[in-house]
Structure 1
């Protein structure tokens, strides 16, 4: 189980941006694996990122056609591109045990609409 309500990005200058509280699912409605900007793909947190619903939505081109994806989405402004971010995803609840996800440091982030963090998306 992942709870997106705990996630935030530390921009390196004392500013924090919280994640949206929902988890967004990948979809098979288009060939690439990224979150659809549509609330039909949003699920309330906490959410089981290894659920059958996630596995059914396997993208055709990415992920080697093996696994679906679940996303934590942040509202970031373009003026923060190319800064040193640290993404804090909080904890995973695995069979009743809390497992901390270490901060993910990004030294350089070009202006983009989304970032995929692949290890989190696999069972």
Structure 2
């Protein structure tokens, strides 16, 4: 189980941007977040659920698994920015597992950033 309500990004000036409270599923065609409420699920949510497994993107995920996304409403990310994402913790088999903070790097062509280890069951 993962609860996106605890997630936030620390910007270079030290300000904090909280995640949207919902988690968003990838679509059946492309593996990227769509902030359309029909793809939103309330937190906490089982990111290893059958619903996620069934949503296998046809074009971008090698027919492996579907994905779940945390969305932040942030300013534009520039190449000199030093942001850190804090995703909080997950509950795995009744145990709380902390997710260490991760520095983000600049991706000039992307509108979103995928964090691969969290997308795997």
TM-score past 0.5 threshold: yes
| Structure 2: runs of 5 or more not aligned | none
Corresponding residue pairs, total: 120
Task: Structure 1: give runs of 5+ residues left out of the alignment.
Answer: none
Select the residue among 30, 37, 59 that pairs with 1:32: 30
| Cα offset, 1:106, TM superposition | 1.6
State whether structure 2 residue 83 is matched by structure 1 residue 91. no
- Determine if contact 1:81/1:111 at 8 Å carries over to the other structure: no
Q: TM-score, normalised by structure 2?
A: 0.92
Which residue of structure 1 lines up, in the alignment, with residue 78 of structure 2?
81
Report the TM-score, using the length of structure 1 for normalisation: 0.91
- 4+ aligned runs moved over 4 Å, structure 1: none
Secondary structure of residue in 2 paired with 1:55: helix
CA distance in 2, matches of 1:39, 1:121: 20
